């Protein structure tokens, strides 16, 4: 069993930056895939970014490519989401998730993962 706890959300102006963290406990993340999803008010949860822990391969939603970076720290068993050039449409609750599978080009349609955090709210003001 993996427990995930997100932190780092908050209020930021458009064009600003935030870094989200997701601390994992219960087991190490080796052989896992970690991902970030987000859910905006009135919308369904959507994929943001994923990283395959053992080799660092990443995948991004088109809407965040070039602005967001997902990374991991083995020593801290933590995954990060660095968000730059934030836009008001990035406003959402951001969720950390873990799974044993890597979905490749199917990531944008993935909605189910083995483990989920409770989320952290990011609000981008215009």
User: Distance between CA 22 and CA 119 in Å, rounded?
Assistant: 9
- The total number of residues shown for the chain amounts to 126
Residue 29: per-residue pLDDT:
82
For 39-86, the DSSP string reads E-TTS--EEEEEEETTT--EEE-TTTTTTEEEEEETTTTEEEEEE-S-
Model confidence pLDDT, tens digit, residues 21-48: 999 998 888 889 999 999 999 999 999 9
Residue 114: per-residue pLDDT:
94
Model confidence pLDDT, tens digit, residues 59-109: 999 999 999 999 999 999 999 999 999 999 999 999 999 999 999 999 999
Residue 14 has pLDDT above 90, yes or no: yes
Q: What is the mean pLDDT of residues 52-57?
A: 93
Q: What is the mean pLDDT of residues 121-126?
A: 97
User: Distance between CA 18 and CA 115 in Å, rounded?
Assistant: 23
Look at the block and give the residue holding tokens 């993962």.
113
User: Distance between CA 47 and CA 70 in Å, rounded?
Assistant: 12
Q: Tell me which of 1 and 8 has the higher pLDDT.
A: 8
Residue 109: phi, psi to the nearest 5?
-105, 0
């Amino acid at each position: 069993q993996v427990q995930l706890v997100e932190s780092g959300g908050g209020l930021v102006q458009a064009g600003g930056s935030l870094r989200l963290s997701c601390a994992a406990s219960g087991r190490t993340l080796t052989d896992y895939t970690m991902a970030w999803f987000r859910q905006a008010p009135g919308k369904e949860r959507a994929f943001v970014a994923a990283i395959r822990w053992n080799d660092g391969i990443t995948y991004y939603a088109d809407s965040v490519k070039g602005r967001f970076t997902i990374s991991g720290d083995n020593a801290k068993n933590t995954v990060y989401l660095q968000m730059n050039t934030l836009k008001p449409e990035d406003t959402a609750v951001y969720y950390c998730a873990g799974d044993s599978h890597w979905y490749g080009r199917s990531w944008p349609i993935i909605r189910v993962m083995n483990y989920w955090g409770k989320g952290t709210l990011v609000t981008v003001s215009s």
